[in-house]
Amino acid sequence: MANNPPFLAEILPVIIQALEKDAEEVDRSGEFPKTAFSVLQQHGLLHFVLPTTSGGSGGDLLASQAIIQAVARGEPSAALILIMQYLNTRRLDDTSNWPDAVRRKVAESVIRDGALINALRVEPELGTPARGGLPATRARRTAEGWRISGEKIYSTGSHGLSWFLVWASSDDVDPLVGGYLVPANTPGIHIIDEWDHLGMRGTCSHRVVLDDVLIPLDHAVNVAPWSTPRPGLNEEESVWMAVLLGSLYDAIAHSARDWFIGFLQQRVPANLGAPLASLPRFQELVGRIDTLLFTSQILLSSAAHGHVAGGHAAQIKQVVTENAIRSVQLMVESIGNHALTRHHPLQRHLRNVLCGRIHTPQDDAIFTSVGKSALSAERSTS
């Protein structure tokens, strides 16, 4: 795997500095981080992983990881939206099963306009499709094109997206289920601003309502009959998702660590007459935190360099996320009120890092899958 392009070493510190200026305001307002995406578009990072056959930079996982870590150090909501951009645009190569004209149209909009795309999959009744089930969102075939109606929740990036890849089922006897590409400015789309979360507030993961929305027939870009087997992510896609999501929450923990270190070095209680950093119990605590984060860095680096099999991707995501959460919790527990004061960054980092547990696959599914595999292997060798 290639090393990070040299230009990243120059621009990533600039991006961190630019994005962290607005991080507190994005958290307070819950508004889409427009400034962050203007900066990312200016530096050509919105089409960074778009394949070269579609006019993009064709960036690899190692470089993409560095970008996500930097963006997350600045403003983590923007990093999550960017992860979705990367996971969706990297599939748009000339071997894609998308109609060629549609693929090129989306790719050109990403390059030219910084257009953002994300898959809208979760529904109020269905929950996440990862748990199985037929989506209630319907695509009705007409002479004009597909008419799509339904509701999607947890639609990350909602107000900032140009393209919705809507998980829906057609009205055929054997429904065509999968991704229907919907331009975000199509009449009949309504965004209900109901995302009022404790953490990752700037993701604007609002409810999107589609009311008889018309799209061309060739915008059924990634669908298959419900009766056919539905493959999940391949191993490469699983590793990409695990590394990028893990890197996001690991970066939040590192931001919290930096604030915590500064606090310990500067805080001088009157009865101590020296910084908290001089106390052995805080020195030990920082050692525990750094060991957790060191473990995560080794896992993420190994996976990004291609040294971890795709079958272990979900475990990496679980371990890194939990290490990040535990690290921040240790900081909060150790200093009490200071950590929970509204204007200090540490409470924001805590709220943001806790969101790492939300992403598919969740812990129960990860551990059940790993356990079943292990027990099955034991039976086959006994």
pLDDT at 382: 54
Beta bridge partners of 177: 169, 224
Task: Estimate to the nearest angstrom the gap between the alpha carbon of 225 and the chain centroid.
Answer: 28
pLDDT at 342: 87
Indicate if the pLDDT at residue 170 is higher than 80: yes
Integer Cα distance of 203 and 36 in angstroms: 12
pLDDT at 2: 47
pTM, to two decimals: 0.94
Chain segment 228-265, per-residue pLDDT in tens:
987 778 899 999 999 999 999 999 999 999 999 999 99
Chain segment 47-97, per-residue pLDDT in tens:
999 999 999 999 999 999 999 999 999 999 999 999 999 999 999 998 888
Q: How far is CA 217 from CA 58, 143, 144, 161, 340, in A?
A: 29, 9, 8, 21, 52
Beta bridge partners of 224: 177
Question: Which of 13-17, 270-274, 338-342, 347-351 has the lowest average pLDDT?
Answer: 338-342
Integer Cα distance of 372 and 54 in angstroms: 40
Q: What letter would DSSP give residue 147? A: E
Burial class (CB in 10 A: 0-12, 13-18, 19+), 12: buried
Compute the average pLDDT of residues 110-120.
97
pLDDT at 231: 74
Indicate if the pLDDT at residue 210 is higher than 60: yes
Beta bridge partners of 376: none
Burial class (CB in 10 A: 0-12, 13-18, 19+), 269: exposed
Beta strands 163-170 and 117-120: pairing type? Answer: parallel
Compute the average pLDDT of residues 11-24.
96
Indicate if the pLDDT at residue 378 is higher than 90: no
- Tokens read off for 45: 């990072």
Cβ contacts of 172 within 8 Å, gap of 6 or more: 141, 225
- Tokens read off for 123: 């529904």
Task: Identify the band that residue 281 occupies on the pLDDT scale cut at 50, 70 and 90.
Answer: very high
